Structure 1
Amino acid sequence: MMTNLFSIFDPSTNIFNISMNWLSTLLGLMFLPTYYWLIPNRFNLLWNNILNKLHFEFKTLIGNNKTNGTTFIFISIFTFILFNNLLGIFPYIFTSSSHLCMSLSISIPIWLTFMIYGWLNNNEHMFSHLIPQGTPKILMPFMVMIETISNIIRPGTLAVRLTANMIAGHLLLTLLSSTGTSMSSKFVIILIMIQFLLLILESAVAMIQSYVITILSTLYSSEVN
């Protein structure tokens, strides 16, 4: 019996005290053999079109003066988060993207890499971001503090945004499904329809959140140079 509502997000399945639920993050590798070795189908064509659209959009945001191949880093992040979000919708599959340890392990290295690269190679440009143009001299110390704090909390906001959105939908589905046993047959049909609509909404949220996090990471990288 579930003693805590948030226990559905706990990696409880283990063998020799090793959590096996996190292996769900590797389920996306099952799609790779069909992607590379089977005859191209409509899914492959659709996925290639999506990746091309993302490549040109990221290239526009980053700029043409950056190193070639930079956009593929963000495309890989988008693909990884998207597969984990969508796989978490299926029953009995652990949603790894609903944990801060997973989302922070993605956002912190990205942000830290941008900061190290920016302060080592273009420190004047990084200092200029701390004080917006046209700021009065009396407000400059406060603006430096505000911009520094907003820059430090960026990886946290990226991680919390992904985790909170994934947890909210799963909790709502769990709460509604737990009330189905005490309902009559007429209300159960309505509940199933509501659950189906929520699953569609969760699928949209999974795709939107992976896109939003990747776009924000791309914008953060464009501020370095």
Structure 2
Amino acid sequence: MMTSLFSSFDPCSSNNLFNNWLSTLTFIIILPSTYWMNNNRLSVLLKNISMTLHNEFKLLTGTHAPSGSTIMFISLLLMIAINNFLGLFPYIFTSTSHLVTALSLAAPLWLAFMLYGWINNMKHMFAHLVPLSTPNLLMPFMVLIESISNFIRPGTLAVRLSANMIAGHLLLTLLGNQTSSSSSLILMIMLFLQITLLLLECAVALIQAYVFAVLSSLYSSEVISH
């Protein structure tokens, strides 16, 4: 039973292995063309969203962040959010629920931030390992704790995104499997619960993309000297 539930999150369980991963790039079709003489409504909407996110990430990264760094976080947020929404449609593989996809997004970002910080701001990185007002006796332990917390950051980002996407899909699958042999009253209740859970999953898809991008921007702000 558990194997049949989790098989929807395993690309190897399908004969169309390569087609499953193509769903990650499906969002390119949704993006509007930038070569029209007049902007359509979707272009104006995306521009307004991008400007709002730019102002938000500019506050998080600080004034010392390199110019154009917010574009990376905006693109990351939009890509994860669209892939999360696409996973709610039938017969579309949710690539963000796979740990490989989440780690492929989190690990390179974390490694780039760490290399930039240790190469350009080594003193700041060493000072960040020991919080202010730490007793001398606890300093070695704080260095160890902060080092471990830095190393597990890509794992926590990836697991948070994958686990939240898997949890909602599993609940929808479990509720859907109970409707085959149910009475009319139970069927109406299950349908109401599924619609409510689907709306909640839409909110979770957007929130998880926002959390992933915000935490990535906060990690980048820590390696830049203030």
Q: TM-score, structure 2 length as denominator?
A: 0.93
* Matched-pair contact (CA < 8 Å) for 2:65–2:221: no
Verify: 1:14 aligned to 2:15, yes or no. yes
1:1-225 equivalences in 2 (<5 Å): 3-11=3-11, 12-15=13-16, 18-32=17-31, 34-37=32-35, 40-225=39-224
What letter corresponds to residue 161 of structure 1 in structure 2? R
* Matched-pair contact (CA < 8 Å) for 1:58–1:218: yes
Query: Which aligned runs of 4 or more in structure 1 are off by greater than 2 angstroms?
Result: 1-4, 12-15, 34-47
Measure, in 2, the Cα distance between the counterparts of 1:193 and 1:20: 33
CA spacing shift, 1:65–1:2, aligned 2, 3 Å: closer
User: Identity of counterpart residues, as a percentage?
Assistant: 58
Deviation at 1:142, TM superposition (A): 0.4
What letter corresponds to residue 46 of structure 1 in structure 2? L
* Matched-pair contact (CA < 8 Å) for 1:107–1:155: yes
Deviation at 1:59, TM superposition (A): 1.0
Q: CA RMSD in A?
A: 1.6
- CA offsets per residue over residues 19-76 of structure 1, 9 Å max, x none? 32111111101113x3435653433333221111110111111122222111001111
Measure, in 2, the Cα distance between the counterparts of 1:178 and 1:14: 23
- CA offsets per residue over residues 128-151 of structure 1, 9 Å max, x none? 010001101000000000000011
User: Which one is further off, 70-79 or 58-67?
Assistant: 58-67
Q: How many aligned residue pairs are there?
A: 222
Q: TM-score, structure 1 length as denominator?
A: 0.94
What letter corresponds to residue 6 of structure 1 in structure 2? F
> Which runs of 5 or more structure 1 residues have no equivalent in the other structure?
none
> Which runs of 5 or more structure 2 residues have no equivalent in the other structure?
none
Measure, in 1, the Cα distance between the counterparts of 2:223 and 2:104: 21
Measure, in 1, the Cα distance between the counterparts of 2:52 and 2:120: 30
Measure, in 1, the Cα distance between the counterparts of 2:151 and 2:196: 38
Measure, in 1, the Cα distance between the counterparts of 2:86 and 2:100: 18
What secondary structure does 2:74 align onto?
Answer: helix
Measure, in 1, the Cα distance between the counterparts of 2:60 and 2:184: 53
